[in-house]
Structure 1
Amino acid sequence: MLLDRPINGSKTHAFVIGVGDYPHAKMGKGVQDNLRQVPDLPSAADSAKLVCDWLLDHQDDLASPLATLEVLISDPAIPNNRYGWANGPADPATEANVIARGLEWYERVVAKPGDVAFFYCCGHGASHLQQPVLFLEDLNRSKVNAWTHINLGQLALSFRKSPAVAAAFLFSDACGQYVPEFELGKSQESLFFEAPNLFVPSRNQVSLLCAAAEGQLAYEGAHEPGSNLKFGRFTQTLLKGLNGSSARWSRNRFGVPCRDLLGDLKSLRRVFFDHWGDDEPFEPYQAVTPTDPLPIVYPTGFELPLVVMTDPPDRMSDYGLVISQQNIPDPPWLKNRNAGASHAWHTTVPPGLDALYAIAIRGQDYHPLLFQPKEPLFDQWVPVP
């Protein structure tokens, strides 16, 4: 366990799983031929480490402060282009460890009314009976159960049936593809939580956000342009949102509500990670949606993303653009871009309730657009002649 500290009142219990090592799913190993070519995923192990560091860095910024952090990471022995992690190593994400440590985490979450669950996983995954699943390190180890996996949909449903849990935020950076042998064969999920009682009323306090919709793949991406260090694309975009890029003004402060993350992710990916290109799809989806916009974190020291275009867009290159606290183009400016660029202007602005202006300038001619930076703004259109 990376963190275990006393917290008065509502608190968060986190469980992070990263499966990058599949030792039984290799040539000459394991029990099924069709599972002997599963590649290792160092980026999955590193993505889990990145999320752990984010949780530790923001332990007091969470809407319910972080009390415990349980971690299991199956880390392949691939040394180059890896994330330097000072908090490891962690125990591997084997079925035995997931069941034992996962049960301890689950029982902590449901022990006292008002606590919050935070769950993150990354690795190879699939859709099974229309539910997202994550495969564990034991994949292809046993004839009894070659497809060792966690059923994330059932985990979400179990929390929905719990009267004690105030909120559960679940995230999966894994593929959602259909695997016929898995879909049609016999498999037993690695159950570490209370089996949902179908006769107990469900509550809508659970969010399950997944990297790839059913039938889709999830991909890794370079952390920075030209870098060989890679993490899950979903993970990087998710953390960008949690760091404040998906914040909204609510209850007299800026918070990141779980219900708005999905709507922001594709835009955040375009604004901050355009070096990934568009050859591979980015199609996250909400497998379970909460009714209320439950806050996950109250970020500090952030700016909100802003995308500015002229209307009509074919006039972009004719105008310089500035962000100002006044509706005239005189400096000082918060941000500016010179004329000549034909693409949308991706920038960021400090959050606040005071009005700002996006101003298109051409010579002595200028055209202001009023906006309020209390949430991310991905489609600000400045009307020009």
Structure 2
Amino acid sequence: MTLLFDRPIQGPKTHAFVIGVGKYPYAKAGMGVQENLRRVPDLPSAADSAKLMCDWLVNNQDRLSAPLATLDVLISDPTDSNHRYSWARGPVDTATEANVSARGLQWYDRVVAEPGNIAFFYCCGHGASHLQQPVLFLEDLNQNRVNVWTHINLGLLAFALRKCQSVSAAFLFSDACGQYVPEFELGKAQDCRFFDEPSVFSASRNQVSLLCAAAEGQLAYEGVDKEGSDLKFGRFTQAVLKGLSGSSARWTRSGWGVSCRDLLGDLKPLRRVFFSHWGDNEPFEPYPAVTPTDPIPIVFPDGFELPLVVMTDPPDRMSHYNFVISQKNDPTPPWLKNRDAGDPSAWYTTVPPGRDALYAIAVKGTDHYPLLFQPKEPLFDQWVSVP
């Protein structure tokens, strides 16, 4: 199968590899090798999450830190067609061990072929923690009795990329669980290796980011994209894409950029602001398996607004005030955003990015109480002092 996206680029470029494992045919009743692996459910949302990430990469091909040159994709897609993400790209091959080994090596070779290149890797599916490293299980889980736990060791991949002196940056994302599986943890499973064996004696560089949906012993969850929708994607994936699309942007010398370090700190607030319809019954605890030293930009987004959360101080006065966002210290129109009194909850809104100051103003009758702020980054904790 050819690459999903391929174009010639002069100079440093981004090479992306996306894997979505939504189908586990050998981990079902009456199939496969081990009895304890015959109850693994399929994950249509994992396949659709990979498709969503592919669309984002193609749509932002020229806004990445280095322009997108290639995108290779492997998706194991279950046959369930109900309430699925409509995707016009493809077809693509499945995420089997053989395909991941072959295509992953081609991706890795492209990444290290020229100095200054950037590696982008994303995966979604069932996962676990093995020897304190995050892993992703592949489609042929439970197929081969010699190695029933077919998986990618994501921590080792990150470690190998840190040893690559020519790679300017690597951004890795895993939307998978981090739970402990005793049989897997204590066994001798061989990971699917498609990168050079990292030398323990060569120097490592801190240019790699690996963000994971769930830490060791924790689960990752899916969720609908908006209230009333039937479309489900990985919650981590949705929060990451919200941040990458501009909601986690900061002003830099090169313009509005989203760095991996800032994105990590914003994921939980972004979930609270944009995805409150998920509820609080299931945890959302993304964590950094590998963190770079410098705030390396991933993307320079365009056409976005920054999230803003406004509360009164004291909080119990919230419902007593109208609110406006204005370019001047004056509650009269025109204003950028407004909300009427009566709602006791925090005001979740967005504002255009800029380096000029704005005012968040609480209004009651003829009195108003301003808060000056600068919309050069997401602001999740703005307090307006009121009587």
Q: Under a length normalisation based on structure 2, what TM-score does the superposition of the two structures give?
A: 0.99
Q: Could you say which residue in structure 2 is the equivalent of 1:158?
A: 160
SS of corresponding position for 1:201: coil
Alignment of 1:125-144 (within 5 A): 125-144=127-146
SS of corresponding position for 2:26: coil
Q: Does 1:260 align with 2:262?
A: yes
AA paired with 2:35? D
What is the deviation of 1:88?
2.0
* Separation in structure 2 between the aligned mates of residue 204 and residue 73 of structure 1, nearest angstrom: 30
Spell out, residue by residue over 1:93-124, the C-alpha distance to the aligned partner (whole angstroms, 9 max, x if none).
Answer: 00000000000000000011100000000000
Q: Could you say which residue in structure 1 is the equivalent of 2:305?
A: 303
AA paired with 1:118? F
Spell out, residue by residue over 1:44-88, the C-alpha distance to the aligned partner (whole angstroms, 9 max, x if none).
Answer: 000000000000000011110000000000001101111111002
Q: Could you say which residue in structure 2 is the equivalent of 1:174?
A: 176
* Separation in structure 2 between the aligned mates of residue 288 and residue 260 of structure 1, nearest angstrom: 14
* Separation in structure 1 between the aligned mates of residue 109 and residue 87 of structure 2, nearest angstrom: 28
What is the deviation of 1:89?
2.1
* TM-align CA RMSD: 0.6
AA paired with 2:343? A
Segments of structure 2 that go 5 or more residues without pairing to the other structure are none
AA paired with 1:34? N
SS of corresponding position for 1:29: coil
Q: Could you say which residue in structure 1 is the equivalent of 2:187?
A: 185
Given candidates 74, 77, 80, the residue that maps to 1:78 is 80
AA paired with 1:32? Q
* Separation in structure 2 between the aligned mates of residue 11 and residue 374 of structure 1, nearest angstrom: 28
Q: Could you say which residue in structure 2 is the equivalent of 1:382?
A: 384
Q: Under a length normalisation based on structure 1, what TM-score does the superposition of the two structures give?
A: 0.99
AA paired with 1:190? C
Spell out, residue by residue over 1:202-258, the C-alpha distance to the aligned partner (whole angstroms, 9 max, x if none).
Answer: 100000000001111000001121111100000011000000000000014100011
SS of corresponding position for 1:243: helix
* Separation in structure 2 between the aligned mates of residue 280 and residue 183 of structure 1, nearest angstrom: 25
Given candidates 332, 338, 352, the residue that maps to 2:354 is 352
AA paired with 2:294? D
Q: Could you say which residue in structure 2 is the equivalent of 1:343?
A: 345
AA paired with 1:123? G
User: How many aligned positions are there?
Assistant: 385
* Separation in structure 2 between the aligned mates of residue 253 and residue 52 of structure 1, nearest angstrom: 24
What is the deviation of 1:190?
0.3
* Separation in structure 2 between the aligned mates of residue 224 and residue 338 of structure 1, nearest angstrom: 24
What is the deviation of 1:173?
0.2
SS of corresponding position for 2:343: coil
* Separation in structure 2 between the aligned mates of residue 47 and residue 57 of structure 1, nearest angstrom: 15
* Separation in structure 2 between the aligned mates of residue 280 and residue 271 of structure 1, nearest angstrom: 16
Q: Could you say which residue in structure 2 is the equivalent of 1:251?
A: 253
Q: Could you say which residue in structure 1 is the equivalent of 2:285?
A: 283
SS of corresponding position for 1:369: strand
* Separation in structure 1 between the aligned mates of residue 156 and residue 147 of structure 2, nearest angstrom: 18
SS of corresponding position for 2:105: helix
AA paired with 1:311? D
* Separation in structure 1 between the aligned mates of residue 378 and residue 86 of structure 2, nearest angstrom: 31
AA paired with 2:265? G
Q: Could you say which residue in structure 2 is the equivalent of 1:224?
A: 226
Q: Could you say which residue in structure 2 is the equivalent of 1:23?
A: 25
* Separation in structure 2 between the aligned mates of residue 252 and residue 54 of structure 1, nearest angstrom: 21
Q: Could you say which residue in structure 1 is the equivalent of 2:217?
A: 215
Given candidates 65, 68, 74, the residue that maps to 1:63 is 65
Segments of structure 1 that go 5 or more residues without pairing to the other structure are none
SS of corresponding position for 2:98: helix
* Separation in structure 2 between the aligned mates of residue 252 and residue 221 of structure 1, nearest angstrom: 34
Q: Could you say which residue in structure 1 is the equivalent of 2:89?
A: 87
* Separation in structure 2 between the aligned mates of residue 366 and residue 343 of structure 1, nearest angstrom: 19
SS of corresponding position for 1:238: helix
